[in-house]
């Protein structure tokens, strides 16, 4: 029996999942889970990458304790965020995407290259935290001086494990600098913004074997194995992990809701730009999708209004509420507010009961799903009957029911670790 390790890290938690194939089915077992999250430092939101890597190593050790022989491992995380290196030394702090530092430089980037032109090149939706904007802040602040490497988060963790600095295609497509037609870094954009070319080498594809664990890592975890690139953007792996009957729209429902569909090639027309749809890398296909604020709204409300309240109770309160007020779930004021309750109060004029906040969040979220699906169908020229939902949000029967009622699509909710399954699937296909 061959065993494989998927390390799947989201913005709020990470998990190490062992997988193996038996009778043409993939079986999994979680061996380690740890919390993750941003922290405030000098007025900025940052990642503690030292702690993050320590948890990665601990989880690998736990995996080897139960499964002494592991064929390979791979890591997927969220997109856009990165670690700068000077040789083999990290440049701190490592900023998080919810930090507001890009606000001042976005107009400066668009002066150099208007967004319409950027979109024609990349097909990447506008998000204020896209890597292209984060890097411009690095440039104007002087932090790029002497930098030799830029590694997105999973690439950084993988380098720490095996010593190879790779740049993986699916995650790179979240940066806003990959040419939609060539699938490589767009040097016209990079030159226009004055970024050092050496930071943007040739990309590697999912399924690439990088090497073995560093000897010191192998000694620390009690075993060794190959290190492989999966689709290192978690949504790229999630879509690979959906057992889909044909090609239908999907929602990868977590901190963010990623709603999209597979297409043979990128769609970068004016309609897609207006709808703010993104074209991101898949494993042999294009992912035509957009970011929607997701369970972040509910999670942050819970943190304030009922930190000890289990989710079933939150759902009951939302179901019992008769609140019919809606907000724009994707409004910038919900991205990183100091108080999510205050943000909802400002948008609604204030709500009465705890359940009203949760009902408002859920109903506003599914309304954004409906709008996104209508845009998707208009821009692809296709009509779809089904909607597949995976991730943590797929477990929420109330949200699934609202989604089905609001969108008019048959919801197929698969409360599975789709991201880990996709990560494992890619590893298992490596010769």
Q: In this structure, what CATH number is given to the domain that contains residue 50?
A: 3.30.420.40
* Residue 38 and residue 59 share a domain: yes
* Residue 228 and residue 251 share a domain: no
* Residue 104 and residue 77 share a domain: yes
Per DSSP, the residues of 76-90 read: EB-SS-EEEEETTEE
* Residue 416 and residue 314 share a domain: yes
- For residue 237, being part of any structural domain is answered with no
- Show pLDDT as tens, one digit a residue, over the chain (431 residues): 999 999 999 998 999 999 999 998 999 999 999 999 999 999 999 999 999 999 999 999 999 999 999 999 999 999 999 999 999 999 999 999 999 999 999 999 999 999 999 999 999 999 999 999 999 999 999 999 999 999 999 999 999 999 999 999 999 999 999 999 999 999 999 999 999 999 999 999 999 999 999 999 999 999 999 999 999 999 999 999 999 999 999 999 988 999 999 999 999 999 999 999 999 999 999 999 999 999 999 999 999 999 999 989 999 999 999 999 999 999 999 999 999 999 999 999 999 999 999 999 999 999 999 999 999 999 999 999 999 999 989 999 999 999 999 999 999 999 888 999 999 999 999 97
Long-range (24+ apart) CB contacts under 8 A made by 410-416 are: 410/385, 410/386, 411/386, 411/387, 412/386, 412/387, 412/388, 413/389, 414/242, 414/243, 414/388, 414/389, 414/390, 415/390, 416/241, 416/390
Quick one: how far is CA 63 from the chain centroid? 24
* Residue 167 and residue 256 share a domain: no
Provide the pLDDT for residue 416.
82
* Residue 248 and residue 183 share a domain: no
* Residue 272 and residue 148 share a domain: no
- For residue 398, being part of any structural domain is answered with yes
- For residue 238, being part of any structural domain is answered with no
Domain that holds residue 426: 243-431
The total number of structural domains that make up the chain: 2
Provide the pLDDT for residue 175.
98
* Residue 205 and residue 68 share a domain: yes
Domain termination site, one of 200, 232, 264: 232
195 vs 31: CA distance, rounded Å? 41
* Residue 165 and residue 297 share a domain: no
* Residue 310 and residue 224 share a domain: no
Cis status, amide bond into 93, omega within 30 of 0: yes
Domain termination site, one of 232, 258, 284: 232
Catalytic center residues: 234
* Residue 165 and residue 188 share a domain: yes
* Residue 189 and residue 314 share a domain: no
31 vs 62: CA distance, rounded Å? 6
Phi, psi of 286 (to 5 degrees): -100, 140
Domain termination site, one of 176, 208, 232: 232
pTM: 0.92
Provide the pLDDT for residue 415.
82
222 vs 67: CA distance, rounded Å? 11
């Amino acid at each position: 029996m061959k065993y494989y390790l998927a390390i799947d890290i989201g913005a709020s938690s990470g998990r190490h999942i062992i997988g193996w194939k038996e009778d043409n089915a993939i079986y999994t077992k979680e061996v380690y889970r740890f919390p993750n999250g941003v922290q405030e430092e000098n007025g900025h939101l940052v990642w503690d990458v030292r702690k993050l890597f320590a948890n990665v190593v601990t989880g690998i050790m736990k995996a080897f304790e139960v499964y002494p022989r592991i064929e390979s491992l791979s890591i997927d995380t969220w997109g856009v965020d990165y670690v700068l290196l000077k040789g083999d030394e990290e440049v701190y702090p490592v900023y998080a995407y919810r930090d507001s530092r890009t606000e001042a430089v976005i107009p400066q980037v668009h002066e150099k290259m208007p967004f319409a032109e950027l979109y024609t090149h990349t097909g990447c939706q506008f998000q204020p935290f896209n890597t292209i904007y984060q890097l411009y802040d690095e440039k104007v602040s002087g932090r790029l001086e002497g930098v030799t490497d830029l590694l997105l988060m999973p690439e950084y963790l993988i380098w720490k494990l095996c010593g190879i600095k790779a740049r993986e295609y699916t995650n790179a497509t979240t940066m806003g600098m990959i040419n939609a037609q060539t699938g490589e870094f767009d040097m016209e954009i990079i030159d226009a913004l004055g970024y050092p070319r050496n930071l943007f080498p040739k990309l590697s594809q999912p399924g690439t074997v990088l090497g073995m664990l560093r000897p010191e890592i192998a000694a620390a975890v009690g075993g060794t194995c190959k290190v492989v690139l999966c689709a290192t953007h978690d949504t790229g792996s999630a879509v690979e992990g959906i057992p889909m009957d044909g090609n239908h729209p999907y929602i990868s429902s977590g901190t963010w809701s990623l709603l999209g569909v597979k297409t043979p090639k990128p769609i970068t027309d004016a309609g897609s730009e207006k709808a703010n749809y993104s074209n991101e890398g898949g494993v042999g296909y294009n992912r035509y999708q957009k970011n929607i604020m997701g369970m972040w709204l509910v999670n942050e409300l819970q943190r304030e209004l009922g930190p000890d309240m289990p989710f079933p109770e939150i759902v009951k309160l939302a179901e019992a509420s008769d609140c019919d007020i809606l907000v724009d779930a994707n409004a910038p004021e919900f991205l990183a507010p100091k108080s999510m309750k205050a943000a909802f109060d400002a948008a609604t004029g204030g709500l009465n009961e705890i359940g009203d906040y949760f009902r408002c969040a859920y109903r506003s979220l599914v309304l954004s799903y409906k709008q996104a699906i209508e845009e998707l169908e208009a821009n692809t020229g296709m009509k779809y009957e089904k909607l597949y939902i995976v991730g943590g949000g797929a477990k929420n029967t109330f949200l699934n029911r609202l989604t089905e009622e609001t969108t008019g699509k048959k919801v197929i909710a698969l409360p599975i670790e789709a991201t880990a399954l996709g990560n494992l699937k890619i590893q298992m296909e490596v010769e």
